[in-house]
Amino acid sequence: MPKFFYKAVKLDGETVEGELEAVDESAVIRHLQGEGLIPIEARTTKSLTAKLGQRRRRRLSQKEIGILTRELATCSKPV
C-alpha cells in the first residue's frame, strides 16, 4: 500500500500533519474524517519526494562568495 502525506485540522483549529498507508487518497480522507479531523491536503509521498528532488541547487560563483563574505564581515555587530 502506498504512503500518503496528509494535513488536517482538528475541531479546535489545531493543524496536524503526518503520513498514512492507504489504498488511495479517498481512503485517507475517509480515515481522517472518521478520526474527527477536517482534511486539508492528502497526496502520495512519492509526489512529495519527486517535487523535492526537482529543485536544483545553484552553486555560488567566486564573485558571489566574495560579495557575501565582505557583507558578512562589515555588517556583523559584536555582541
Helix/strand/coil for 72: helix
**pLDDT tens digits along 22-34:** 999 999 999 999 9
pLDDT band at 2 (very low <50, low <70, confident <90, very high): confident
Q: Could you tell me which residues are beta bridge partners of residue 39?
A: 8
- pLDDT at 48 (0 to 100): 58
Q: What is the pTM of this model?
A: 0.57
Instruction: Answer yes or no: is pLDDT of 8 > 90.
Output: yes
Q: How much of the chain exceeds pLDDT 70, in percent? A: 80
